[in-house]
Chain A
Amino acid sequence: MVSILFWPLLSILVLVPFRKQNWAQWVNLLLHLPWVFFLIELIKVTPSGAPFGLMETYGTFPLFKSALVLGADTLNVSLIALTIFLSFSLSFYFLGHSKISQSFLILFQLLNFGTIGSLLAADAFLFYIFWEFMLIPLFFLIGIWGSENRVYAALKFFSMTLAGSLALLAGIFFIVTKTEVQSLAWSELSRNAEMLSAAAPWLGWAFLLAFLVKVPVWPLHTWLPDAHTEAPTGVSVMLAGILLKLGVYGMLRWVLQVFPTLYWNSTDLLFAASVIGIILGSYGALRQTDIKRMIAYSSVAHLGFVVLGAISTNATAQSGAFFQNFAHGLSTGLLFLSFGMIYDRTHSRKLDEYGGLASTNRFLAFTFVFASMASVALPGLPGFVGEFLILSGTFLQKGWWVLLPLMGVVLGAMYTLQLVKGLVFGKVSPLVESHPISLKWNEYVSIFPFLVGLALLGLAPQFLLAWINGSIPVK
Chain B
Amino acid sequence: MNEFFQSKIFEITSEQLSDLFPLLLLSFGFALSVIGAGLKLSSKFFKIIGILVFSLAITTWSFTFLEADSVVLGLHITHFSRIVGALVSLFALTSFVLFDVSKRYANRPEWLALLILAVMGLSLLPASHNWISFFVFLEFFSIPSYILAGYDTNRERSLEASLKYMLTGAFASALLLMGIALVYLCSGTVDYSSLQGHFPSHILSTLALAFLLVGIFFKMTIVPFHFWAPDVYQGAPMGVAAFLAAGTKLSIFVSAALAFSETEFYLRNDLMNFAVIAGTLSILVGSLLAFTQRSFRRMLAYSGTVNAGALAPLMVLGKETLSSGIFFLFVYGLTLALILSAFSSLLKNRNLDANGDLDPEELNLKDSQQSKFQSFILAAGLFSLAGIPPLPGFFAKYWLFSDLWAQGYRPLVMWALLGTLMGVAYYIRIAGKLFFAEKRSVII
Binding site for B on A (CB under 8 A): 63-64, 128-130, 132-133, 135-136, 139-140, 143-144, 148-155, 158-159, 162-163, 166, 169-170, 173-174, 176-178
B424, CB-defined interface residue at 8 Å: yes
Other A-B contacts than A162-B421, A174-B405, 6 sampled, CB-CB below 8 A, are: A129-B390, A129-B394, A140-B435, A153-B441, A158-B428, A159-B421
- Please tell me if the beta carbons of A148 and B417 are within 8 angstroms of each other in the complex: no
Contact of A136 with B405 in the complex, beta carbons under 8 Å: no
Using a CB-CB cutoff of 8 Å, which residues 262-302 of chain B contact chain A?
A: none
Contact among B395, B424, B437 for A158, CB-based, below 8 A? B424
Interface contact B417-A169, CB-CB below 8 Å: yes
Most chain B beta-carbon neighbours within 10 Å: one of A130, A151, A154: A151
Interchain CB contact under 8 A, B399 and A155: no
B312 to chain A, nearest CB (A): 18
> Are B413 and A176 in contact (CB-based, < 8 A)?
no
Chain B residues closer than 8 Å to A152, beta-carbon distance: 441-444
Subset of 16 A-B contacts with CB under 8 Å? A129-B394, A143-B432, A149-B442, A150-B441, A151-B436, A154-B432, A155-B428, A159-B421, A162-B420, A166-B421, A169-B417, A170-B414, A170-B417, A173-B405, A173-B413, A177-B406
* Closest-CB distance, B236 to chain A (whole angstroms): 32
Contacts known (A63-B399, A144-B435, A166-B417); A155 close to B388, Cβ less than 8 A? no
Q: CB-CB < 8 A to B420: which residues of A?
A: 162, 166
**Complex formed: what's the CA distance from A326 to B394 in Å?**
33
| Residues of B close to A128: CB separation below 8 A | 389
B435-A143 in contact (CB<8A): yes
Residues of B383-437 whose CB lies within 8 A of A: 383, 388-390, 394-395, 398-399, 401-402, 405-406, 413-414, 417, 420-421, 424-425, 428-429, 432, 435-437
Q: How far is the CA of A169 from the CA of B394 in the complex (A)?
A: 11
Which residues does chain B contribute within 8 Å of A163, judged by CB atoms? 421
B414 in contact with A133 (CB, 8 Å): no
Decide: B441 and A151 in contact? CB cutoff 8 A: yes
Report Cα–Cα, A152/B440, bound state, in Å. Answer: 8
* Central interface residue in A139, A150, A178, by most chain B CB within 10 Å: A139
Q: How far is the CA of A47 from the CA of B109 in the complex (A)?
A: 70
Taking a contact as CB atoms closer than 8 A, the residue among A133, A139, A144 that contacts B428 in the complex is A139
- CB pair B389–A139 under 8 Å, yes or no, is no
Residues A151 and B444 in contact in the complex (CB < 8 Å), given A159-B421, A159-B424: yes
A150 to B441: give the CA distance in the assembly, Å.
Answer: 7
Q: Which residue of A lies closest to B383 (CB)?
A: A136
**Is there contact, CB below 8 Å, between A173 and B401?**
yes
Residues of B within 8 A of A139 (CB): 428, 432
Within 8 Å of chain A (Cβ to Cβ): is B8? no
Are A155 and B432 within 8 A (Cβ)?
Answer: yes
Give the chain A neighbours of B440 by CB distance below 8 A: 151
Q: B394 to A64, Cβ gap below 8 A?
A: no
Contact of B389 among A129, A158, A166, A173 (CB under 8 A): A129
A residues in contact with B383, CB < 8 Å: 136
Q: Are B444 and A155 in contact (CB under 8 A)?
A: yes
Going nearest first, the 7 A-B pairs with the smallest beta carbon separation are A152-B441, A151-B441, A129-B389, A177-B406, A173-B405, A143-B436, A166-B417
The closest CB in chain A to the CB of B403 belongs to A177
* Interface residue B202 (Cβ < 8 Å from any Cβ of A): no
Chain B residues with Cβ below 8 Å from A162 are: 388, 420-421, 424
Chain A residues with CB below 8 A from B389, complex form: 128-130, 132-133
Report yes or no: A136 in contact with B388, Cβ–Cβ below 8 A.
yes
B304 → chain A closest CB, angstroms? 21
- Min CB gap B372→A, angstroms: 10
Pair B405/A177 contact, Cβ less than 8 Å: yes
In the bound complex, what is the Cα–Cα distance between A148 and B442 (angstroms)?
A: 10
Cα distance, A129 to B417, chains bound together (Å): 16
Alpha-carbon separation in the docked complex, A263 to B442 (Å): 38
CA distance A136 to B383 in the complex (A): 9
The chain A residue sitting closest to B372, CB to CB, is A103
Whole-angstrom CA separation of A417 from B399 in the bound complex = 53
- A133 pairs with B424, CB closer than 8 A: no
Interface contact B390-A155, CB-CB below 8 Å: no
Report Cα–Cα, A139/B428, bound state, in Å. Answer: 9
With A133-B389, A174-B405 in contact, is A148–B432 under 8 Å at CB?
no
Chain A residue nearest in CB terms to B417: A166
Most buried by A among B406, B420, B425, B428: B428
Distance, CA A64 to CA B405, complexed state (A) = 13
A129–B405 alpha-carbon span in the complex (Å): 19
- Chain B residues, CB < 8 A from A173: 401-402, 405, 413
**Residues from chain B with Cβ under 8 Å of A159 in the complex:** 421, 424-425
Closest Cβ of chain A to B90, distance in Å, is: 22
Contact of A133 among B390, B406, B413, B437 (CB under 8 A): B390
- A64 contact from B399, B406, B425, B435, Cβ within 8 A: B399
A148 / chain B contacts, CB cutoff of 8 Å: 439
Q: Please name all residues of chain B whose beta carbon is closer than 8 Å to the beta carbon of A178 when the two chains form the complex.
A: 405-406
Quick one: given A129-B389, A143-B432, are A151 and B439 in contact (CB under 8 Å)? yes
Give min CB distance, A469 to chain B, whole Å. 34
Query: Of all chain B residues, which has the CB nearest A155?
Result: B444
Query: What residues on A are CB-neighbors of B425 within 8 Å?
Result: 159
Q: How far is B395's CA from A143's CA once the two chains are assembled, in angstroms? A: 26
Determine whether the beta carbon of B421 is less than 8 Å from that of A150: no
Chain A residues near B439 (CB, 8 Å)? 148, 150-151
B402→A177 contact, CB < 8 A? yes
Chain A residue at minimum C-beta to C-beta distance from B401: A173
Inter-chain CA distance A150–B390, complex, in Å, is 25
Measured CB to CB, the nearest residue on chain B to A146 is B436
| Cβ contacts under 8 Å, A153 to chain B | 441
A139 to B420, CA, bound (A): 17
Residues of A within 8 A of B442 (CB): 149, 152
Q: How far is the CA of A151 from the CA of B421 in the complex (A)?
A: 17
Residue of A nearest to B442 (CB): A152
Minimum CB–CB distance from B165 to chain A (whole Å) comes to 35
State whether A155 and B402 are in contact (beta carbons under 8 Å apart), knowing that A129-B390, A144-B435, A162-B421 are contacts in the complex: no
Q: How far is the CB of A163 from chain B (nearest CB, A)?
A: 5
CB distance from B161 to the nearest CB of A (A): 33
Q: Which residues of B contact A155 (CB under 8 A)?
A: 424, 428-429, 432, 441, 444
Chain A, residue nearest B433 (CB) = A151
In the complex, what distance in Å separates the CA atom of A151 from the CA atom of B428? 11
In contact, B441 and A149 (Cβ under 8 angstroms):
yes
Q: Which residues of B contact A151 (CB under 8 A)?
A: 432, 436, 439-441, 444
For B399, the chain A residues whose CB sits under 8 A away are 63-64
Contacts of B424 in A (CB 8 A): 155, 158-159, 162
A245–B133 CA distance with the chains assembled, in angstroms: 61
Q: How far is the CA of A149 from the CA of B441 in the complex (A)?
A: 6
Chain B residue at minimum C-beta to C-beta distance from A154: B432
A166 to B420, CA, bound (A): 9
Closest residue of chain A to B406 (Cβ to Cβ) is A177
Of B394, B398, B417, B436, which is within 8 A of A150 by CB? B436
